[in-house]
């Protein structure tokens, strides 16, 4: 107290002074306020397979209501090991090489926390998913930005080579790429392997959209490339694969030596993940192994449906080779900055989208917005009907 008055709370300087509320929260809230169709935040509007919640109830009733093992339920880690061996020919130690996490964001944050020290540099690719840079900065690292070139959003490996210094601790990659929908090719992974060979650089590979690769292409996981596998932490997401984003369960794989360090941080960040849901996922993976591999066809049909809905509009759909996001140019409609346009589109036309400039450290604005097509066809058709009127009146 000072002169009978409470002293103001001594709030220290922010560790993230440039960070506000995430754009996904902002646009979803705006969509709700205005009754707009929400194609902004990346989540399905349809239910997961009915068998999954049935299995959760079964395991809860059977008594799996206490802590799971810190690294994850053994049956789930075994199912993950079988999956990656079948898909990528990669053998991971069930005991020492696989950890179940509370979502992919936690896995990526924990990997950064475990290995990045103050002053270390971490290369990321812009447009960059919004959780990477704050995680780097919170742990004392310095983000270094490589550019994914508009409009195909492919990496320039000469640029990446020039960015590597003795301070480079880590490179974070994301393929299939959010927000662009670009998919890296084998040549990209080979280039990354060459650049990191005989270095101490760790690669964190965000592969949460691994099963959403279209038109006959193949997902090029770091797990397919032995030279990368030995230095990589690969992250995937049950939420994306099984339409259960609200469950917040993911996993990561790494060589035993890297995983030992990862778990030192993991046990104090989250310790363990929802037990009955892990057991349900393990059962489901054994019962329906084709669910994940059939996902590409399921989402390609939705992509194609939504692209047809954009025909006749003044939006120009860009290439989408993976993820469940479709980029579209609107420069034939308006010269508004993309953040302003996204708000206007939500309020005036009832469709919410994400402006792409928010993923760029420089705010680079190509008049492009991102739509999520992980929706019922009725939802996409209703959005398409509204989008075809934009710029017509």
CB-based contact 30:36 (threshold 8 Å)? yes
CB-based contact 144:162 (threshold 8 Å)? no
Q: Locate 378 and state its tokens.
A: 């009725």
Q: Are strands 354-355 and 368-372 parallel, antiparallel or unpaired?
A: antiparallel
Ranges of beta strands (E only) in 63-208 are 98-101, 121-126, 142-149, 154-155, 168-174, 202-206
What pLDDT, on the 0 to 100 scale, is given for residue 192?
A: 98
- Is the confidence at residue 291, as pLDDT, over 60? yes
For position 237, which CATH number holds?
Answer: 3.40.640.10
Q: What is the pTM of this model?
A: 0.95
Residue range 17-59, pLDDT digits in tens: 988 888 999 999 999 999 999 999 999 999 999 999 999 999 9
The whole-number average pLDDT for the span 185-214 is 98
Residue range 77-114, pLDDT digits in tens: 999 999 999 999 999 999 999 999 999 999 999 999 99
- Per-chain mean pLDDT for the chain: 96
Q: Of 261, 287, 313, at which residue does a domain stop?
A: 287
Asked whether residue 392 is domain-assigned, the answer is no
List the domain range (segments joined by +) for residue 373.
23-48+294-387
- The answer on 56 and 43 residing in a single domain is no
- Is the confidence at residue 8, as pLDDT, over 80? no
What pLDDT, on the 0 to 100 scale, is given for residue 393?
A: 63
Integer CA distances (angstroms), 166 to 159, 231, 355, in order: 16, 17, 35
Q: For 267-330, give the DSSP string.
A: HHHT----HHHHHHHHHHHHH-THHHHTHHHHHHHHHHHHHHHHTTSS-EEPP--BSSEEEEE-
Rounded CA-CA distance 242/297 in Å is 14
How many distinct structural domains can be found in the chain? 2
- The answer on 154 and 139 residing in a single domain is yes
User: Within 13 Å and on the Cβ side, how many CA atoms surround 95?
Assistant: 0
- The answer on 263 and 117 residing in a single domain is yes
Backbone angles phi, psi at 14, to 5 degrees: -65, 140
Asked whether residue 9 is domain-assigned, the answer is no
Helix axes 74-88, 275-287, angle to 10 degrees: 40
- Is the confidence at residue 320, as pLDDT, over 80? yes
Confidence of residue 3 (pLDDT cuts 50, 70, 90): low
- The answer on 342 and 268 residing in a single domain is no
């Amino acid at each position: 107290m000072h002169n009978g008055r409470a002293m103001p709370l001594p709030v220290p300087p922010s560790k993230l002074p440039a960070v506000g509320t995430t754009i996904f929260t902002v646009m979803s809230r705006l969509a709700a306020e205005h009754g707009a169709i929400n194609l902004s935040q990346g989540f399905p509007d349809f239910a997961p397979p009915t068998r999954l919640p049935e299995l959760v109830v079964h395991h809860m009733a059977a008594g799996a209501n206490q802590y799971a093992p810190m690294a994850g339920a053994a049956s789930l880690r075994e199912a993950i090991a079988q999956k990656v061996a079948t898909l990528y020919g990669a053998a991971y130690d069930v005991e020492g090489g696989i950890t179940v996490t509370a979502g992919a964001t936690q896995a990526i944050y924990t990997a950064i926390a475990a290995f990045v020290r103050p002053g270390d540099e971490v290369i990321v690719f812009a447009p960059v998913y919004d959780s990477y840079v704050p995680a780097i900065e919170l742990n004392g690292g310095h983000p270094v930005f490589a550019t994914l070139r508009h409009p195909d959003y492919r990496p320039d490996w000469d640029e990446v080579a020039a960015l590597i210094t003795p301070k480079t601790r880590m490179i974070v990659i994301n393929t299939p790429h959010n927000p662009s929908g670009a998919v890296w090719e084998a040549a990209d992974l080979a280039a990354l392997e060459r650049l990191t060979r005989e270095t101490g650089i760790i690669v964190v590979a965000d592969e949460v959209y691994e099963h959403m690769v279209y038109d006959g292409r193949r997902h090029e996981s770091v797990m397919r490339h032995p030279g990368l596998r030995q230095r990589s932490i690969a992250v995937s997401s049950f939420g994306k694969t099984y339409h259960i984003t609200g469950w917040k369960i993911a996993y990561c794989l790494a060589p035993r030596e890297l995983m030992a360090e990862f778990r030192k941080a993991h046990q104090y960040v989250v310790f363990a993940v929802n037990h009955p849901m892990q057991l349900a996922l393990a059962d489901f993976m054994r019962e329906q192994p084709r669910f994940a591999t059939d996902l590409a066809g399921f989402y390609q049909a939705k992509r194609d449906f939504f692209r047809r809905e954009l025909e006749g509009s003044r939006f120009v759909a860009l290439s989408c080779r993976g993820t469940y996001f479709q980029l579209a140019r609107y420069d034939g409609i308006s010269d508004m900055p993309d953040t302003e346009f996204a708000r206007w589109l939500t309020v005036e036309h009832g469709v919410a989208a994400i402006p792409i400039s928010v993923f760029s450290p420089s705010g680079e604005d190509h008049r492009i917005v991102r739509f999520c097509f992980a929706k019922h066809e009725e939802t996409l058709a209703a959005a398409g009907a509204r989008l075809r009127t934009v710029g017509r009146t």
